[in-house]
Structures are given as structure tokens and as C-alpha cells.
Amino acid sequence: RVQNSLRLLAFAMESETPAESSQPGKIEKPKKADFRQRAHCNPLCDWGDCYPVSPDHVDWSVHFPKFFPGNGVESDALLLNTSEYPIQYPDGTVRPECSGKVGQHQVRFLDVGCGFGGLLMALSPQFPDKLMLGMEIREQVTNYVGKRIQAMRQGAEGTPSHHNVSVIRTNAMKFLPNYFRKGQLEKMFFC
């Protein structure tokens, strides 16, 4: 019986056709099943995290290129602070308009422990003028959210959208003050 069940399962897997991915020009959104990871990560562990020295060292134009035109940033590039999509913070400070020190574009909404990005994706169209950032400590989950945002920016659901949302892998317990200035955030979500 077990062998028959395994044969049926193998046959079913072989006969499956890819769902809609074979359509030319269609932008595929990532699937959660391809990015599974353990449910928890030790926030006290010293893993090789790259983080900025201060908010003056964060170049937000790499995360929100549509809000910082003319900075030579490729709009489809993913810089998530993961091993697959690494980011390097400069030793010196970045231009004040890119770090949010001056100008109107600053991250205002923060989702700490954003998980698979559901809240960010829902809030983005509701507040199109607010920059939103998700912080997640799990690498595979961060990669999933980054690819999900990238697909939406490329127009996976028709019109390109979600240019005001980004995600990075970091330990918010340790490094939150390294990213944001005092009084910069309007809303913080902890999930």
C-alpha cells in the first residue's frame, strides 16, 4: 500500500503543470513555501550582521529609489542585508538628503518583526506618501518579503506599486537606534 501511495504521489508530481508561470511577460510573485525557516531566531546571538554606525550612515535611496530620483540606484535591486542580497553601509556619512537628515523623505512607519510582510503590503496603498520599513531577523523570510515587494514594484498585479515599502534583515533589539533619528518614526508595529 505504501509503495502504491508513493507511486501515485510521484505520478501526480510529474504530471503537474506549472501554474501560470509559463505565460510570457507575467511577473511571478514568490511563494511562501519556497522560503520556509524555523519559527524563531535567537536575538541574543551574535551573527554576522551588517548594520550602520548611525542614522547618518543609512542611504535610504537604495531602499526607496522612486522617492530619491537621480541617485543612480537601480530600482529593481534588492539590498536586504541577507547573504543572498547583502548591503554595505559606508564608513563615512551619506548625503543628508539620502539619509533623511534633510528633505521630506524619511521612513515614518516601522514594522518590527514584519514576518511575511502582510501588514506592510496592506498599509502601502493606504499611505502612499509614507515610507515604510519592515525589520525581520530571519533571513529566508526577509528574502521572501523583499522578492514580494520587488514583484509588486514590477507590476505583478497590473500597475507597479509598493514603491514606499522596503525590508531589511536586522536585529531591532540591538540596532534600532542605528537606523532612525529621535522623533523620526510616527508609527511602530510589533508583531
* Average pLDDT over every residue of 8-19: 38
In this predicted structure, the answer to whether residue 165 has a pLDDT above a threshold of 50 is: yes
Neighbours of 80 (CB within 10 A): 24
Residue 101, all three cell numbers: 537628515
| 100-146 pLDDT per residue, tens | 898 889 999 999 999 999 999 999 999 999 999 999 998 899 999 99
Q: Residue 143: which of 58, 84, 67 has the closest Cα?
A: 84
Burial 37-71 (b: 16+ CB within 10 A, else e): eeeeeeeeeeeeeebbeebbbbbbbbbbbebbeee
Average pLDDT of the chain to the nearest whole number: 82
The C-alpha atoms of residue 1 and residue 94 are separated, in whole angstroms, by 65
Supply the pLDDT for residue 28.
Answer: 77
Q: Residue 189: which of 105, 130, 102 has the closest Cα?
A: 130
Residue with cell 534583515: 169
Q: Residue 93: which of 59, 51, 57 has the closest Cα?
A: 57
Q: Residue 166: which of 60, 85, 90 has the closest Cα?
A: 60
Q: At 165, is the secondary structure helix, strand, or coil?
A: strand
What global pTM score does this model have?
Answer: 0.78
| 58-96 pLDDT per residue, tens | 999 999 999 987 766 666 788 999 889 999 999 999 999
Amino acid at 21: S
